[in-house]
Amino acid sequence: MSNELKRGLEGVLVAESELSYIDGEAGKLGYRGYAIEDLATQASYEEVLYLLWHGELPTRAELEAFSENLAAERSVDDEVLAAVADLARSGADPMDALRTAVSMLPTYDPEADADAEDLAATRRQGRRITAKIPTILAAFDRVRRGEEPLDPADDLGYAGNFLYMLTGARPDDVAEETFDMALTLHADHGLNASTFASMVIASTMADIYSSVIGGIGALSGPLHGGANEDVMEMLEEIDESGTDPVEWATAAREEGRRIPGYGHRVYRVKDPRAEILEQRLRDLSASNDDTKWLDYTTAIEEYLADQGLLEEGIAPNVDFYSGSVYDHLGIPTDMYTPIFAMARAGGWIAHVLEYQTDNRLIRPRARYTGPTDVEFVPIDER
């Protein structure tokens, strides 16, 4: 056995998976063999969930039944919503509110006592979690804005229903399609930190709620989630200061400041998800007759390319464009990471289901570097 230290487990293989394929050198991403470009533009988020959880794309009849079952679980118990409202009025962070609310859900789950080895029950619990997260997040944001939460709209899909519950207006086709696409792009991405955290918890045969809560906790860290919020804050800073985007980026680099939304642990070229969202930003900008964010982001990207960052393997990631897309959809900046969690919960659940089919407790070791053979001195003699 090698004793070579791999900080952050970088490059260490700990599992086999059929869920996500990532080629960081070529900029490719696929779910169960399907290219992300095809799934994002031709499949709904519900279809992608079915693919991740069941291993194949659904027939139309299977999708209709799956979507109906998912929609039927959207309502959240009054006690949970009351807690969410209290957190909203207290000024809580949305990710804290989401983590707290999800931790309450098993109290009201009729299968809360199901054995973790019962993967069919785990899948049903995962469906409930996935269905209820949008309701929780929309209620939180509406209450803190002094508005009443809205009941889910049964005639809208997963993406459209969230936008309706959040804004109070039924989204147009462009908005609903764009948000659905964004959810698909964020649904899964290999053994990232939050997915691995979920799997570690699941490997103890804890319930799926514990795994999702762990994923939310990992995603709340600034080194994993939150970069699209940073990008949006950068764009707003540029706009409010009246600075030319290229001048801002030049000054930031001279000051040693990091450009948010740039670079990725895996991709050495432009993130394929960024390519797709850039095009959606162009479509939204044209539809809304507002190209400000598009102009800023493309100017910065062109400048950084001229500076040779692409040759260094530093390119735009998915966050560089997702924030601008969400802003066009009327989504508050501090809701971006919770939305990431909403989309990625489907991936967390898929990895738990996959791993627990052949479970082994994840138990790495650390190299001890402290002292040895230290003589103990009783407390009265110290």
Catalytic positions are 264, 319
Closest CA to 101 of 183, 216, 186: 216
* Interacting residues of 281 by C-beta distance below 8 A, sequence separation 6+: 293, 294, 297, 321, 324, 325, 328
- Compute the distance between CA of residue 162 and CA of residue 152 in angstroms, rounded to an integer: 8
* Interacting residues of 376 by C-beta distance below 8 A, sequence separation 6+: none
- Compute the distance between CA of residue 290 and CA of residue 2 in angstroms, rounded to an integer: 56
Looking up tokens 């009443």 gives 148
Kindly write down the DSSP assignment for every residue of 167-226, as one continuous string.
HSSPPPHHHHHHHHHHHHHTS--SS-HHHHHHHHHHTTT--HHHHHHHHHHHHTSTTTS-
Closest CA to 123 of 133, 136, 114, 132: 114
* Interacting residues of 138 by C-beta distance below 8 A, sequence separation 6+: 149, 150, 162, 165, 166
- Compute the distance between CA of residue 53 and CA of residue 323 in angstroms, rounded to an integer: 28
